[in-house]
C-alpha cells in the first residue's frame, strides 16, 4: 500500500513538473463575416498548440458594439470593435483593455466610400443629406463620416447612416437603396468582389481623414487578464505573430481564409481579395491610436476631458498592466 502511494505521489509530482504553468482556458468569441481575426488565423496556423488555450466561436457579431455588449455580459471572453466604440464602452463603465490592434488603415488597407459611376457625389461635401450604408452605428465608419464632415466645417450629423451587413453592401448600392456604401478596412474581401463587377467609384477613404492609424482593437476584460496573466500574454503574442505572418505570406493567408470560410458556409471566393490587416509590425499599438479618438469624443462631449487616458487602456505584451508610454 505504501509503495502504491509512493508511486502515485511520484507520478503526480512528475505530471506537475511536466505540465505547463497555466491551466486550460477556452475563449469564446463572436466572429465577423468574410474574414478571420488574427487570433483565429493564429489558431489555424497552430500557434496555440500546446498552450492550453482553445477557442469557441459562439456566433456572428453584426458589428463591434454587439461584440462589446457580449464581452461585458460575460457570454464571451474576447471582444473586437472600432476604437471609438471601445472607448465609449469603457467610458460607460466597462473595465476593458485594448490588447492589440485588430486591424488598421494604411496604404494597403482602408475603408472606402463608394458610389455608382453615375452618381453626382464627388467629394465629402456632397454626402450632406445622402444615405450611407455602414456595418453598424457608433463604430469606425460612423465616426469617420462624422470626422470627415467636421473637417469640412459641416454638421457632423448631416448624412444619414443606415446599417447594412457586409455581404449586402454592393447590392444596396447598385439597386439605389443607398447613395453611398462604406466598405470597412476589415471588409476588403467584400470590396474586391464588388469592384470586380465594375460600375463603382471611390469618393474618399478613411486614410484621407485619419491618416495611418489602428482602426480597432481586440478587447479583453481587465479582470480576466489579472486572473490569467500568462494566457493573456500568450494570446497577444501569438496573435501578433499571426498579424506578421499575414503581412509576409498574403497568398497563404488567403488560402487559409478560403478554406475556413468554406467550412463555415460562407463565400470562399471573397478570400482572394484579402489585403492584409493594415497594422504595424508586431501588432504594435501607440498612444496616438487611442488618443486621436479620445480627443474626438471629448470634442463631441461624449466623454469628459481627462476621463480616459491611452496609457490606462493599452495592454503591454508580457505584462498584465496597461501601457505606460508611447512608442513610435
pLDDT tens by residue, 120-143:
999 999 999 999 999 888 888 998
**213-221 and 96-105 as β-strands: parallel, antiparallel, unpaired?**
antiparallel
pLDDT score, position 10: 39
Residue 261's nearest CA partner among 28, 34, 32, 29 is: 34
| Architecture of the domain whose range is 23-106+213-313 | 3-Layer(aba) Sandwich (3.40)
The DSSP output letter for 63 is S
For residue 289, give the H/E element and its range.
helix 287-300
Binned at pLDDT 50, 70 and 90, residue 249 comes out as very high
Question: What nine digits make up the cell of 12?
Answer: 503526480
Which of 206, 31, 27 has the alpha carbon at shortest distance from 113? 206
**Does position 321 have pLDDT exceeding 60, yes or no?**
no
**Three cell numbers written together for 48:** 496555440
- The average confidence (pLDDT) of the chain is 87
Stated pTM of the model: 0.77
Q: How far apart are CA 320 and CA 323, in angstroms?
A: 9
Exposure on the CB side of residue 299, measured as CA atoms within 13 A: 13
Q: Compute the distance between CA of residue 60 and CA of residue 245 in angstroms, rounded to an integer.
A: 25
Note whether 254 and 271 are within 8 A (CB).
yes
Q: What is the mean pLDDT of residues 164-193?
A: 90
Q: Which residues contact 15 (CB under 8 A, 6 or more apart)?
A: none
Contact indicator for 233, 110 with CB cutoff of 8 Å? no
List the one residue out of 231, 216, 229 whose CA is nearest residue 283.
216
CA-angle at 38, arms to 31 and 74, nearest 5°? 45
DSSP 203: E
Do 98 and 284 form a contact (C-beta atoms < 8 A)?
Answer: no
Q: Where are the domains of the chain?
A: 23-106+213-313, 112-210
Instruction: Check residue 317 and give its pLDDT.
Output: 56
- Using left for φ > 0, alpha for ψ between -120 and 50, and beta otherwise, residue 173 falls in alpha
Structure confidence by residue, pLDDT tens digits, 219-228: 999 999 999 9
The pLDDT tens digits for 44-67 are 999 999 999 999 999 988 778 889
Q: How confident is the model at residue 23 (pLDDT cuts 50, 70, 90)?
A: low
Lowest mean pLDDT among 122-126, 155-159, 264-268: 264-268
Domain 23-106+213-313 shares a fold with domain 112-210: yes
Contact yes or no for 58/29 (Cβ under 8 A): yes
Region 175-183 average pLDDT: 96
Q: Do the Cβ atoms of 134 and 142 come closer than 8 Å? A: yes
pLDDT digits (tens, 9 = 90+) for 89-116: 999 999 999 999 999 888 878 899 999 9
112-210 topology per CATH: D-Maltodextrin-Binding Protein; domain 2 (3.40.190)
pLDDT of 61:
81
Quick one: average pLDDT of 179-186?
91
C-alpha cell at 274: 484579402
Amino acid at each position: 500500500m505504501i509503495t502504491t502511494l509512493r508511486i502515485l505521489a511520484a507520478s503526480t509530482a512528475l505530471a506537475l513538473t511536466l505540465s505547463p504553468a497555466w491551466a486550460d482556458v477556452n475563449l469564446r468569441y463572436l466572429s465577423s463575416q468574410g474574414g478571420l481575426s488574427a487570433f483565429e488565423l493564429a489558431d489555424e496556423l497552430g500557434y496555440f498548440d500546446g498552450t492550453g488555450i482553445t477557442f469557441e466561436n459562439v456566433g456572428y457579431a453584426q458589428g463591434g458594439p454587439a461584440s462589446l455588449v457580449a464581452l461585458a455580459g460575460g457570454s464571451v471572453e474576447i471582444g473586437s470593435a472600432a476604437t471609438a466604440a471601445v472607448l465609449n464602452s469603457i467610458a460607460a463603465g466597462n473595465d476593458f483593455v485594448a490588447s492589440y490592434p485588430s486591424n488598421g488603415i494604411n496604404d494597403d488597407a482602408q475603408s472606402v466610400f463608394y458610389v455608382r459611376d453615375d452618381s453626382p457625389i464627388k467629394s465629402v461635401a456632397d454626402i450632406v443629406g445622402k444615405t450611407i450604408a455602414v456595418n453598424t452605428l457608433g463604430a469606425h465608419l460612423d465616426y469617420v463620416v462624422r470626422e470627415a464632415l467636421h473637417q469640412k466645417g459641416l454638421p457632423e450629423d448631416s448624412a444619414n447612416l443606415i446599417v447594412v451587413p457586409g455581404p449586402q453592401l454592393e447590392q444596396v448600392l447598385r439597386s439605389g437603396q443607398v447613395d453611398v456604401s462604406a466598405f470597412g478596412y476589415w471588409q476588403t474581401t467584400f470590396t474586391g468582389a464588388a469592384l470586380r463587377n465594375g460600375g463603382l467609384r471611390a469618393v474618399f477613404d478613411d486614410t484621407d481623414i485619419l491618416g495611418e492609424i489602428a482602426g480597432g482593437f481586440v478587447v479583453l476584460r481587465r479582470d480576466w487578464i489579472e486572473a490569467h496573466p500568462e494566457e493573456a500574454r500568450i494570446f497577444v503574442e501569438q496573435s501578433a505573430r499571426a498579424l506578421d505572418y499575414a503581412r509576409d505570406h498574403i497568398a497563404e493567408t488567403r488560402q487559409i481564409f478560403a478554406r475556413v470560410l468554406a467550412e463555415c458556409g460562407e463565400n470562399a471566393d471573397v478570400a482572394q481579395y484579402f489585403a492584409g490587416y493594415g497594422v504595424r509590425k508586431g501588432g504594435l499599438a501607440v498612444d496616438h491610436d487611442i488618443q486621436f479618438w479620445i480627443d474626438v469624443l471629448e470634442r463631441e462631449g461624449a466623454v469628459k476631458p481627462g476621463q480616459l487616458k491611452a496609457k490606462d487602456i493599452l495592454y503591454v505584451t508580457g505584462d498584465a498592466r496597461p501601457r505606460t508610454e508611447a512608442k513610435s
